[in-house]
Structure 1
Amino acid sequence: MVTLETIRKDMEAQLELDSNIQSVEVNADSLDEALADAAVQLDSRVSHLEYEVIEKGSDGFLGLAKKPWKLRIYQTAEGLAKKKKTMAGVSINDDELDEEIKTVDQDGMFYIRHFGDKICLKVILPIGKGSPVDPKAIINDARRTDTLGLDEDAIRKFAKSGTDGKYEAVGDYKHVKAGDAMLVVDISKDEMLATVTVTPPAMSGAEISAEQIIRNLETQGVVAGVENDKIDEFVDNPVYNVPCEVAAAIKPQDGRDAYIAFNFETDPTKLKIKETKNGQVNFKELNQIQNVVKGQPLATKMPPERGKAGKTLFGRYLEAKNGKDIKIPLGKNVELDKDGVTIIASMNGRVMYESERINVEPVLELDAVNIKTGNIDFLGTVIVKGNVEDGYDVKASGNIEVGGTVGQSHLRSENGDIIVSQGIFGHDVGVIQAGKSLWAKFIQSAKVEVEEFCIVSDSIMNSEVTAMKRVILNGKKAQITGGHLFATEEIAAKNIGSPGGGAETILEVGFDPRLKQRLGEIQDEQNALMKELEDTDNNIVTLENFKKQRRTLAKEKQDQLDGLKKRKEEISVKSEEYAKEVEQILQRLHELKVFGKVKAFGTVYSGVKIYIRDVVDEVRTDVKSVTFFFENGFVRRGKYEEPDMNGIKVPDGYSAG
């Protein structure tokens, strides 16, 4: 098995070799070229190099008398330390290593070569469950007719411990120099490749060693690109009379061009429908809108890289191209972050990549909301030219403007107005929630909740409408028929109710609708708790009486009794919490300065119930042109007063008539 310790030993050996090269002398036409060249030789970064000028270069005049720079370049202490840590495996985690390295079983191997007048041995240890090398096999292979002597003890030692990738002398043989292998080094004209061609040795002749090949390369002037691994491979498994590569020039590496790393999908056709965890697909959630918030990183420019210079076998500098730079694709409503390369949104909206620019659009325009668009969820304003069809929802952080009608849908504006130029057909399913106000032609069978005003030009029919300020119908019909309307300040219309009674119509003003609703919820929950408490008490009494009779209870019954007592305590605590909350709500409702009014400039039909605060006025007979108000603990009726339009601003393009 390849262990962490084995890898560290290999790295330390390599580090020991590399540590001998701590400085180089370089000749180049410029400082940048010299540093790039040295970075290649020292296997370091330019930022980790220091230099001293031996001979200062000159550009000459019009290219004449040009003089190269001669520098001695060193690695900095920081660079050496980083290199040492990397080579020594300081950052290697044992667990990560076990995950990355898969154990491969491999038998041990050995090679016997005759270098000079010595018999040399190289042993590679087995890996995993591989079989070790047999010393007897080594001895048998090493013993030839020209063998003078073998150190069998050394052979046994190396068979067990290995030779650490080297050839070790283990004997002598009768060397005949005339039979030595012959070596020829061939270097290509472009100085990019060196090969060796070796003739096989005769009997008692010496084989070619790695040191001989390297020495011959140096004699030929090769100073870069020596491939020790290929030399070692040739020595282990020689191929005779065939050119074999032993050195290759260090090819220049062109720098990577600058590019933009996008944090969103730039191709809308690749946006996929959302899937649930179990793989189901909701075809109303088409996921076509990529929302972003102000300050959100949208993309980052990755700078171009400098090319890494190369070098021929003879040390001639090979220039590399630097990567090309690009412009940052800033579009509308985006800006650069402080780092100068990160593009961020300058407002909420929809991020898009169009015409090679990144844009954030705060307004989303649609022809309609239907099967083609799916549900809409947008951080900005949504403008729908047509209808919002049944079953499709629209959610926006800004305004929602609908040119047509709204069906059985859920419209929700977090912080803006909702404007429906035609009307709302809720069919007892539709829900409209506005962070500010709602403007519509009519509302039919829908639930409406608004934080400010509900302004309707035609009618409200069989709907539940809650407004934190006012509900005002101000068109020619201005009819409220059926349903339950809540408003803190006032409700105003032409006609309220319907002739002959019909659907029940209830209007409530003079309180906080949410607090009143919460009060009703608490009362329902308290009633349920009281019923549960009564049942719990009865069960406790039954079990305790049974215990008195038997003097003891079975474990199951005792656990049941303990559980009932615990639940009784929980009910008591919860009941006290509800009582405190009710007291707080009643206090806040009592402190409201607005008593509220209901106004009708037409007719309020019999059967209508009007609540102001907690006092009700049930209309017994039709009454015309009237204002209902609170006075001295009673609901009074007075002359019709015009609706309070203070603070209400009609949206652009909306007709209130």
Structure 2
Amino acid sequence: MDSRPFSVYVREDGVYLEVKPDIEVGKIEIIGYLKRQGIDVEEGLIEEIIDQRRGEIVKVSDQVPPSAREALIEVEISEDGLTASIHIIPPLDERNWPSPQDLEAELKKRGVVFGIKEGVLERICSEKLGHQWIVVAEGIKPVNGEDAVIALKVDVERLKPKIEDPNVARVDLRELGAVINVLKGQVLAEKTPPKEGRDGINVLGKPIKARQARDKSLPKGSNTEISEDGLKLIATIDGNLVPKDGKLHVMPVYEVDGDVDYGVGNINFIGSVVIKGSIRDGFSVVAGSDIQVGGVVEAATLRAGGKVMIRGGIRGMGKASIEAESDIMALFIDQAYVKSNSNVIVERSIMHSTVMATEKITVMGGRKGIIVGGSSSAGFEISCVTLGNEIGTRTEIQVGVVPSLQQELKSILEKLEDFREKLNSIENNLNYIRKLEAQGKIDQPKKALMLQLSKMKLQLQYNLEFYEAQRQKLEQEVAKINEACRVKVKGVCYPGVIINMRGVIYMVKEKMEYVTFYYDKGEIKFSPYF
């Protein structure tokens, strides 16, 4: 439709004007347009039509200039240059309608040379479409490039308190999530490549430049590598993910410069942890490998897949718990639970604690090297300078028991008992079916059952033989440990000490010096320290 706010009609007796209702228009716009067509009008009449006679077709001139008898072709190009439109004011004599070639020539006068729609030009002329703007040429829009995108595959926004109880929205300030564990081969970041842009062209035949895409580099840091296709950043070791200076680094050791407290939170790390300060009351440190503590461990929890080294000792207040798959070493242990799958090595003292070691407990570094109060147990040997104290504090010592071996042996014995019960049941059923067979009363289902039971019997017999061999092997290992177990006191052993070896208990009733306790033929004996 015609987008002008007015229409002009040329007839035999003159020129007529129609101003459309409710559309903003000024007399200068109308007068200027008419003058360009060679038509003079009175300003007052135009003002009257705008103000009072909108929607009426009003004669504004008796003179019809020759130019008005021909079609008037107007060309409009959009601001972005992507479209060109034609508007035709029809001629007085419809036989003078322009041809498609006339329209194309008018377009070229205005510089329109690209994207001309010949079919549309033909339709305008054949259907005599006047008084409306029609798009007759279209350019090609540019397609802007899309920048490369780097997507992190690991949550690096971890330094936030976690909700402890969603029902009351309580926040556990110990859980800061400061450690980001990643595994060797894990994808840390992934890149979506940039998409190149495509230039466009306007109806004037001029190129329209597209915005070109920008590439981005994967944030490769220490102990990471980029995949062969260049689209993935991969960890080359197990460790802690550390974003720094726009890069992602994987560090094999997690270090804390000061204390583990509310500023650091609990630590759970796949590798080794080094803490230069202390571990405060109520916090936990879990490491897949070693834990080193420069200060004191208070009523905290430590779990290590390797060894634990505590330079400042353990002041547990009855709540500390330290476990390690390898050695545990400390300056002292006071009111704590300590368990090692290897050795416990203490320099000064073990006081009022529960200490367990698969192999040895040693307190030989200090001048006193004392074990007093609580319970200490080891698979092979416990050695110290002083055992117990002068006031006779109850101190329990147990050697010759390896908890892991005892647990494994117990499990094997339970399996053997279960296999024997099942084998006995199968034997009873087979005997019954064989009797039926001897009497000629066995049918096909019972024959199938007999075959199945026979197969089960063979499997159970194999299991019994296998686990019986395992039992014997473990019992031999336990016996060797029992033979080698010792309690060695380089200084003084006081009354109040209770020594347990292979279930045999010896209560120390008088002060003993420079002594070694050992098991021999159902008794606990002692000899000079060796």
- Do these two structures clear the TM 0.5 threshold for a shared fold by scoring above it? yes
Residue 340 (structure 1) shift: 2.9
Q: Is the contact between residue 150 and residue 190 of structure 2 (CA under 8 Å) also seen in structure 1? A: yes
Change (3 A) 1:452 1:194: same
Matched, 1:379 2:379: no
The equivalent position to 2:253 in structure 1, one of 341, 358, 363, is 363
Return the alpha-carbon distance in structure 1 between the equivalents of residues 501 and 510 of structure 2: 19
User: Structure 1's 506 and 188: CA in aligned 2 closer, same or farther, altered over 3 A?
Assistant: closer
Matching of residues 589-608 of structure 1 within 5 Å: 589=475, 591-592=477-478, 593-595=480-482, 596-608=485-497
Counterpart CA distance in 2 for 1:635 and 1:217 is: 121
- What SS class does the counterpart of residue 426 from structure 1 fall into? strand
Taking CA–CA contacts closer than 8 Å with sequence separation of 6 or more, which of the two structures ends up with the larger relative contact order?
2
Partner residue in 2 for 1:557: none
Contact 2:114–2:139 (Cα < 8 Å) also in 1:
no
Q: Decide which of 431, 439, 462 is 2:352's aligned counterpart.
A: 462
Task: Choose which of 238, 248, 252 in structure 2 pairs with 1:348.
Answer: 238
Taking structure 1 as reference, are residues 603 and 316 closer, same or farther at Cα in structure 2, changes over 3 Å only? same
Partner residue of 2:382?
491
Deviation at 1:280, TM superposition (A): 3.6
CA distance in 2, matches of 1:310, 1:448: 74
| Change in CA separation of 1:254 and 1:300 when aligned onto 2, cut-off 3 Å | same
**Aligned positions of 1:55-204 closer than 5 A:** 184-187=74-77, 191-197=81-87
Which of residues 392, 405, 413 in structure 1 aligns to 2:283? 392
Separation in structure 2 between the aligned mates of residue 612 and residue 420 of structure 1, nearest angstrom: 30
Judged with a 3 Å threshold, the aligned counterparts in structure 2 of structure 1 residues 391 and 474 are, in CA distance, closer, same or farther, namely same
Structure 1 vs Structure 2 CA RMSD: 4.0
Q: 2:180 aligns with which of 281, 290, 293?
A: 290
Distance 1:190 1:443, change over 3 A: closer
In the superposition, the TM-score normalised over structure 2's length comes to 0.64
Is residue 225–residue 250 contact of structure 1 (8 Å, CA) maintained in 2?
A: no
Please give the alpha-carbon distance, in whole angstroms, between the structure 2 residues aligned to 1:516 and 1:187.
Answer: 93
Matched, 1:260 2:260: no
Q: Take 2:242 and 2:383, find their aligned partners in 1: how far apart are those partners?
A: 45
Distance in structure 1 (CA, Å) of the matches to 2:192 and 2:335: 56
| Uncovered stretches (5+) of structure 1, i.e. residues with no partner | 1-177, 229-237, 523-580, 642-657
**Within-5 A mapping of 1:554-633:** 588-589=474-475, 591-592=477-478, 593-595=480-482, 596-633=485-522
Aligned residue type for 1:391: G
| 1:468 to partner: Cα distance | 1.2
Q: Tell me the amino acid that sits aligned with residue 273 of structure 2.
A: V
Q: SS state of the match for residue 329, structure 1?
A: coil
Contact 1:392 1:410 in 2 (8 A): yes
Shift of 1:494: 0.7
**Letter paired with 2:238:** N
1:225, distance to aligned residue in structure 2 (A):
9.0
Structure 2 gaps of 5+ residues are 1-67, 120-128, 413-466
Change (3 A) 1:587 1:328: closer
CA positional deviation for 1:193: 2.8
C-alpha contact (below 8 Å) 2:504/2:524 kept by paired residues: yes
Match of 2:524 among 603, 610, 635: 635
2:360 and 2:379 in contact (8 A); partners too? yes
Q: 1:474 to 1:179 in 2, by over 3 A?
A: farther
Equivalents in 1 of 2:138, 2:243: separation in Å?
45
Q: Is the 8 A contact 1:185 1:217 kept in 2?
A: no
Looking at structure 2, the residues matched to 435 and 442 of structure 1 have their Cα atoms a distance apart, in angstroms, of 19
- 1:273 aligned to which of 141, 147, 161: 161
Task: Report the CA distance shift for 1:617/1:198 in structure 2 as closer, same or farther (over 3 A).
Answer: farther
Cα displacement (A) at 1:190: 7.8
Map of 1:545 onto structure 2: none
Q: Is the 8 A contact 1:304 1:322 kept in 2?
A: no
User: Compared with structure 1, are the counterparts of its residues 408 and 190 closer, same or farther at alpha carbon in structure 2 (3 Å cutoff)?
Assistant: closer
Does the residue aligned with 1:594 lie in a helix, a strand or coil? Answer: helix
Say whether residues 1:479 and 2:367 are aligned partners: no
| Selected match of 1:505 from 395, 411, 419 | 395
1:597-647 C-alpha deviation (Å, 9 max, x unpaired):
111101121221112222222222222111111222322212212xxxxxx
Contact 2:218–2:232 (8 Å) recurs in 1: no
Q: Per the alignment, do residues 486 and 631 of structure 1 end up closer, same or farther by CA in structure 2, a change over 3 Å counting?
A: same
SS of corresponding position for 1:588:
helix
Which of 328, 339, 343 is 1:449 aligned to?
339
Please tell me the residue identity of whatever aligns with 2:308. Answer: I
Distance of aligned partners of 1:218 and 1:316 in 2 relative to their CA distance in 1, 3 Å threshold: farther
CA distance in 2, matches of 1:239, 1:377: 79
Structure 1: distance between partners of 2:224 and 2:316: 39
Structure number with larger C-alpha Rg: 2
> Is the contact between residue 75 and residue 107 of structure 2 (CA under 8 Å) also seen in structure 1?
no
Aligned partner of residue 319 in structure 2, secondary structure:
coil
Secondary structure (helix, strand or coil) at the match of 1:281 reads strand
Task: Write the deviation string for residues 363-409 of structure 1: whole angstroms up to 9, x where unpaired.
Answer: 22221011111111122222222211111111111221111111111
**Distance in 1, Cα, partners of 2:265 & 2:353:** 26
State the distance in 2 between where 1:258 and 1:357 align: 17
TM-score normalised according to structure 1 size: 0.52
Assess if the C-alpha contact under 8 Å between 1:223 and 1:315 holds in 2.
yes
* Distance verdict in 2 for CA 1:179–1:484, change over 3 Å: farther
Task: State the SS of the aligned residue for 2:481.
Answer: coil
- Please state whether the residue corresponding to 1:446 is helix, strand or coil: strand
CA distance in 2, matches of 1:387, 1:225: 80
Counterparts of 2:76 and 2:311 in 1: how far apart (Å)? 88
| Matched residue type, 1:615 | V
1:245 CA displacement = 6.0
What letter matches 1:491 in structure 2? I
Determine helix, strand or coil for the equivalent of 2:318: coil
Tell me which residue corresponds to 1:410. 301
Counterpart Cα distance in 1 of 2:342 and 2:105: 89
Establish whether residue 310 from structure 1 lines up as the match of residue 200 from structure 2. yes
| Residue pair 1:185, 1:216 contacting (<8 A) in 2 also | no
Contact 1:265 1:271 in 2 (8 A): no
Find the residue that maps to 2:374 and give its secondary structure.
Answer: strand
* Contact kept in structure 1, 2:314 and 2:330, CA below 8 Å: yes
The structure richer in strand per residue is 2
Contact 2:82 2:138 in 1 (8 A): yes
* Mapped partners of 1:461, 1:312: distance in 2: 89
Helix, strand or coil: the match of 1:430? strand
Task: List per-residue Cα deviations over 1:2-28 (Å, max 9, x = no partner).
Answer: xxxxxxxxxxxxxxxxxxxxxxxxxxx
| Counterpart for residue 16 of structure 1 | none
Is the 1:224–1:311 Cα contact (8 Å) retained in structure 2? no
- Aligned partner letter, 2:344: C
1:338 & 1:369 partners in 2: Cα distance?
A: 40
Listed one character per residue, the Cα deviations across residues 581-606 of structure 1 (whole Å, up to 9, x for unaligned) are: 99988983554222211111011212
**Contact 1:199–1:240 under 8 Å retained in 2:** yes
The one-letter code of the counterpart of 1:380 is: G
2:313 paired with 1:423: yes
Q: Write the letter of the residue equivalent to 1:588.
A: L
Contact 2:290 2:304 in 1 (8 A): yes
